[in-house]
Structure formats: structure tokens, C-alpha cells
Structure 1
């Protein structure tokens, strides 16, 4: 014991050296324009945790907090929901490929950005907050580059890009991270990391198209908006896009695929997933408890509305559900569901995480949104996934390749395919067992995600933007990055060597030929 006490000063010194230097209470601005609560939940989780650590947080978003949090204030852009929902029919996007999807989404993204920048909340923010400045910016990095003008207006602090799903070619390109389409499927495509030749071909084309689209459409359109609202002084959009300090992806290889990452690209998962469960309403708790054959939970998330499904699809689903011995709990957005069978219960809103935690829930029918995927992975419930848009097909491919569920294409949905897909998962215990193992891996990484996010954000603050993390590839032109200039130099050198060799051989040949010429001329004279 005495020896331990004698060594205590050395131990404390070592601990002090290991711990990071304290970070001052910073002023942090979050800019999260997308009108979708599923996007906002992981962002809110990080910024609420930063507020709890004493940082002063301001958030520009369409989803202000419903309950006040100390050190946290909102700039309310909830008006954005109306136009966003009216401009996109999410239920009609199930058969749209990534390129067409991006073409459909681009006008909406640009329109949302324009109306937000012109709005009174943003103009008031610029009027009263610019002089104080901010120490760090969180920016949802997906097509909102005109907001770089606002970032410039508040002093151009370091930028942390954050995305509520896995990375796309556009995010990896912006931060200089390698992105090999032979093994890394595009997040808007429905492929796993084991692609066929034709899938690799399509994936490579999609990656190139996304890069072209951002360079030739998104950047120029955002540049026009930036100049309209912030004038000539901010730097070009392309320059700021390549100046991110950190990129946080809200998906992790445990629900994604392993890939090579730079040190300033951080994968996190389940930021919004609660470890503790909350009490369910008494009647719902009793209904779940009384399900002797188990419960099927059915929700298509916050964007795809079950009430908007085509009537023939809706009736097919109802007929399939009526054949089940299990009870079915369905998030359905209307008060009534005509033709609802007695084993089906509907509600406009349901506490999804607490329902998935109930031991009687045996299957989750989901659209495959990442936040729903993370919640069911945490609680270990197998899935039937019916993907529609965005990264949902990508997530579905991961679920299928991991053996934790089955996928049903919406175009193929009828009574028989729906019933067969449900019973396949329910009647095969292998799905539940594989999900149990999958959940064990997932929980281990989810447990450290929020702590990791806080450490990296404060690291960027401590090191003034951490420019030492940035990739050298950002300083290279595209042809330099692809080594085309090196290949051209090697090809020219090889060509020069070949030409020199040919020239030398020709001279040698000419040098050897005259030795036979005199005899030839002598024969000619003799003949004469």
C-alpha cells in the first residue's frame, strides 16, 4: 500500500498527460435545413450533449426542441415542412433509381434553401447574431452549400459536416476520402459490398454522375443563391466545401460496410437511440402483454405515409395481415382504416423505441430508414423491409446480406408476397438468432458513439479547426489525384525510349550496309 501511495504523484502526472486539455465553453451553431425529424434526431442528440457540457448552442432547423434545454436555443424553420411535403410524394419513389431520385430531389433541396434564407427567422438571426460570432459550425452536408454565406457572415469558424446517413460520393469527395466503387456501394443505391459485374458498373456510373451533378448543378445553383443573399465577399462555394475540419457520418460499419477512412471522417451510430425504455400507455402495454402469439410492429417512418399508399396495395396488406395469428400494431396516419381486421391496431403516432423493446414484438415491418434500422438493431427485432427512397434500399441490402430480415420490393407487393415474407421471418428461428448476434455487435459500438462525437468536436475546437487532419488530395487536381499526369509522363518516356531505340537501330543498320556495297559495285563494273 505504501508503494502505491509513493507512486501516486507519478500516476496522477501520467493521467494528466493522457487526458486532453480542457476545452473552453464554445459558441456552436448548428445548421440543419432538412424538414425531416429522422434527420434531425441524431443532430439534436449531439448538440444537446454539447449543451450539457457547458457549450452555448444555437440551432437553425425545422424541428425546434419541444422541451427547453439549458444552453440551447432554436431558430425555428418549421414552415419548411409544408413545401417539402407537397413537393415530394415519398410513397411514389419506390421504383426510382438513384440518379432519377437525385434529379427529383434537387429542385426541392434548392427551393427549401432559398425560402429558408429569405425567411424572417434567418434574416433576424443575421441581424442580431453576426457580431457575436461562433467558434464552430455544424452543417448538414447535403446540398445546402448556399449556407456557406451565413457561415462567412458569422466569422468563418471551423466547419463540422454531419450527415444523418452513411457517406455518399459527394461527401467523400469533399473531404478527400478514398471511395472505390468496386467495393463501396453508393448510399443511394441498393447494393451490398458484394456486387456483381453489372452492379459494379452501375455503381461506378452512379458515383461519377453524382460527382458531375454536384460540380455542374448543385455548386453553381448554390453559388447563385449565396451571392444573392450574402453578396460578393464570401469565398466560392467550391472552396468552402473543401475546407471541412471533420465529417461525422451517422452510420457505422456495424450497420454499414467496412471501408478505408481518413482520420477526420468519423463513423457513429445510434446517437438518438435511448438505452432506457419509457413506460408505454397502460392500454397499449396491456395489449402488447396479451399477445400470446407475439406482435408484428409496422411503421413506414416519418416521411413515407401509410395512408398515402395506393388503395390496391393497402387492401393487399390488410388481407395479408388478417391471415396472421399475431397481433399487428401499425403506425397509420388517419383516424380510421376501412377494412381493418380485428388483429390489427392502428395509431397516428407510436413510441417506436419503447415498442421495439417489448419482448412480445417478433417482427418489425419497416421502410428501412437508417434511424429505424438502428433502433431495431439495438433491440434485436428481425425485419421485413419495404424500401422506398433515399438510403432505404442500401440499408435493406445490408439487412438481407446479414441474414436479419427479408426485403420485399413495393412493386412486387401483393397479398401473397406480403404474407409469405412475414411468415418467412416469423417461422424461421434463424432470423431471430442472427439478429441477436448482430445486435450484440451493434450495441457495443453504439455505446461509445456519443462520447466519440463529443471528443472529436472538442478536439476540433482545441486545435483551431485541426487543419493537420486534412488530406493532401484536396490540394490536387483531379488528373493529379488519378495519377494521369504521372501515367502521361511514363508513357511519353516509354515512347521516347522506343523512338531512340528505333533511331539507334536505323543508324546501326545504315552503318553495316556499306560493307556489302563495294562488292556489288565491282560486279556491276565486271558485267559491263
Structure 2
């Protein structure tokens, strides 16, 4: 949560960040549509597509393909669904939901928390409408010649949006039928097996194993030494064995209980019965894999959605989160030992795993069924809310609140004046009697 004196700086920085984001997204959309293979496809009159599936948000120029081929539009949200995706699905989200920005995300529903979320979401909507979407419109006009009105109409064409999410991994949301949760879709593939050396390292761990990985995006060599050193010092004090996913083949001052591996078969490691804890930066897929395996997590989030991915787990009792920028050996060691020795973390992880796994269909089967459904039923407008038919004042019941407030105020004023009149008459009568 941001402190009030930080809010202005954050908003200014966010506008700058969004300008950069708009440029990156502009280049991405332009590069895709100008690719020679895509251009050949667009000029080949024999090409036909029944369905086009894409990331739903921020690459609006690609919606032009849907009109060009008269295809069904389907979305796949690779991150947890947010207000932007929900609007595209015809499911306008109340502003008390978390914004896209991880800094504004909060499980707290207090008045201040809701005010912060309202500020963040309002700002994000301004950034979307004033910076990101106009940049995408320029590409749409360049390659397809479509107008802003056509872009707005194309944004309502999503038949189904598959969301890489599951209700057990965060806030429960009120979704329309066209938003389908398929969190854990990547778990349908069988896990990569461990090699013999790694398998033996885990099998022979008398006190259990801790797995440490900062994902594919964070290279250990770029971490400052004041972060690396507390990690090494803490691992050396542990009786557990530690598997460290690390691209560095040689790690100075590494203790004997640490096994360094460049490419880790993460799911096989997490599924091993002796793994007691997963130290992670909180990438969404890694979090899902830990939940699926029932392994508690110690979170060291670094950017974007990682903060939100871990905070839900902290509230659920299977995650502890530390600030990687303020990391020290004592705090890290104490936290690791506490999480391993206290059985509540392992128990909550197992309970969360049960919730995550218990579904009527696997994520893959669910995704396949709804894809075929979208192909069978092109017009599924009844599965979404028509936002244009629900003005903002009605959506938030502002008209009802104002009407109630007016009536309540009218009654209160009437009672006040009636009481005052009776009191005044009583005093006049008393004076007359005297």
C-alpha cells in the first residue's frame, strides 16, 4: 500500500511508465502485422480462419484480423484477469477490485484501501484511453483502415476469454459466463524428470529439501552482492539441503548443502516428497506449480504481478513474503526455520492444493470444450453484459442512493421542522398561561 506522500510521485512515474509501455506495445503490434509471413497471409485470398485467439488486452490493433477474416474472437489471458479483460468480456468490474498495478493491490477492504484502489484503477483507465489505445488505433488504421468507432465495436466481439487463474488463488470475482478459469493449463503436460544426480541429492536429504528459484526472467548474476550474500550465509546455516536454480556454474562461498543447477525440472522437484519449502519470486506459473504440489512458499517478489500472486497466499496461510531489497541473513534464516518447523504452513499448502485440483474437468479439457463452444455458437451475446445498456449511475446504484438520500433528508427535515414548530407553540402557550 502506498503512503499518501508517495502517491503523487507514483502517479507521475506511472504516466511515464505507460508512455514507454504504449511504445513497446505499438512496436509489438506493428512488428506482428508487418511481418512478411503475416503480410503474405493477409494478401492470400484463399486464407480462411474460423476463430482467432489472442491475448485480450493492449494489442488492440490485432483485433483488425477478426473483422478482416470475419472470424470468431476468443481471448486467452496469460495473467490473472483484471478490470481491463473483464470489460472486454462484458463483465465490468467494481472499482473495489484490485488494479493492474501490483502496488495498489490489497486484500484489505477498509475504506482507505478502497480509496487507493479507486485512484489506481481510475488512473489506469485514463492511461488506457489516452495513451495506449490511441497508439494501437494508429496501427489499426495503417494496416486495415478501420476507424475508432470500429475499434470500439471490435472490443465487444470477444465470445469467450480463457483466464489463467483459479478462484482459490486470490479474490473471488463475480464473472459472466464468458470468462472461463483454466488456471494450471500448463500442468497438463507431464513434468520433466530429474537426472540421477539431482534425484539422489533429494532422496538422501535427511532433513528435507528447500528449492530456490527466481524464475526465467531474473538472472542471479544481476543481483547485487548485498542480496546474494545473505542468501549464501543463510543457506549455510540450514540443516536442509538447498537446490538453487542459478545460471552461474561457479558460486563463490557456496556451502556443501547447496546444489546449483542451471535448468531445473521444477515440477518434478516440487513433487518430491522431501521438498519442504519453495523460495520464489512469485511468478504466476511457479505459484500454480507450488500450489498444485502442496508446497509452502517464501516469497521474494521483484516486479509486476508477483506481489499480488504472493499476497493472496500469505492471507491463506501458506506463504510468507519478505522484501528482497531489505534482505538480511538473520531474518531469512529465522523465517525459513519458522516455516519448516511450524506444521500449519505445510497443512495449509495441502488444503490449497486440494482446492486447486478439485474440478469437474481438467483445465485443458475445459479450454478445449469452450473453444469448440465458441466455434459452434458464434453469437453468444447473452453471455455478456451490454455495458452501454447499464449507465455508470445505474451500475453503481448512484440513482437509488441519491433517491434514498433525498427521501431520508426530506423526512429528517420534516421531522426537525415539525419538532421545532411544536416546541415553539409549547413555549408560546406557556407564556400565554403566565
Into which bin does the TM-score normalised by the smaller protein fall? Answer: 0.7 to 0.9
Question: Given the superposition, is the C-alpha separation of residues 287 and 133 from structure 1 closer, same or farther in structure 2, using an over 3 Å criterion?
Answer: same
Give the distance between the partners of 2:401 and 2:312, measured in 1 at CA. 40
1:362 alignment partner in structure 2: 276
Question: Given the superposition, is the C-alpha separation of residues 341 and 293 from structure 1 closer, same or farther in structure 2, using an over 3 Å criterion?
Answer: same
Structure 2, unaligned stretches of length 5 or more? 1-9, 415-434
2:25 to 109, 112, 122: 109
Superposition TM-score, scaled by structure 2 size:
0.83
Give the distance between the partners of 1:241 and 1:232, measured in 2 at CA. 13
1:122 alignment partner in structure 2: 38
* Residues 126-525 of structure 1 mapped to structure 2, 5 A cutoff: 126-128=42-44, 131-153=46-68, 155-182=69-96, 184-189=97-102, 191-232=105-146, 236-274=150-188, 276-445=190-359, 448-476=362-390, 478=392, 481-482=395-396
377-386 vs 229-238, greater mean Cα deviation: 229-238
Deviation (angstroms), 1:447: 5.2
Question: Given the superposition, is the C-alpha separation of residues 427 and 175 from structure 1 closer, same or farther in structure 2, using an over 3 Å criterion?
Answer: same
Give the distance between the partners of 2:221 and 2:102, measured in 1 at CA. 26
Deviation (angstroms), 1:291: 1.3
Deviation (angstroms), 1:119: 2.6
Superposition TM-score, scaled by structure 1 size:
0.69
Give the distance between the partners of 1:114 and 1:258, measured in 2 at CA. 36
Residue deviations 1:286-338 (CA, integer Å, cap 9, x gap): 11111111111111112222222122211222122221111111111233223
Residue deviations 1:102-156 (CA, integer Å, cap 9, x gap): 555443233222223223333233344x532111111101211111123333x13
Structure 1, unaligned stretches of length 5 or more? 1-95, 502-528
2:6 alignment partner in structure 1: none
Residue deviations 1:350-398 (CA, integer Å, cap 9, x gap): 1111111111111101111111111111111110011122221111111
Q: Is the 8 A contact 1:368 1:393 kept in 2?
A: yes
Indicate the RMSD between aligned Cα atoms, in angstroms.
Answer: 2.9
Deviation (angstroms), 1:441: 1.2
Instruction: Select the structure of larger CA radius of gyration.
Output: 1
Q: Is the 8 A contact 1:166 1:187 kept in 2?
A: no
Give the distance between the partners of 2:84 and 2:28, measured in 1 at CA. 20
Q: Is the 8 A contact 1:176 1:474 kept in 2?
A: no
Count of residues paired in the alignment: 398
Give the distance between the partners of 2:20 and 2:346, measured in 1 at CA. 37
Residue deviations 1:16-40 (CA, integer Å, cap 9, x gap): xxxxxxxxxxxxxxxxxxxxxxxxx
Give the distance between the partners of 2:233 and 2:185, measured in 1 at CA. 37
Q: Is the 8 A contact 2:52 2:66 kept in 1?
A: yes
Residue deviations 1:427-449 (CA, integer Å, cap 9, x gap): 21110011111111111138532
Q: Is the 8 A contact 2:166 2:183 kept in 1?
A: yes
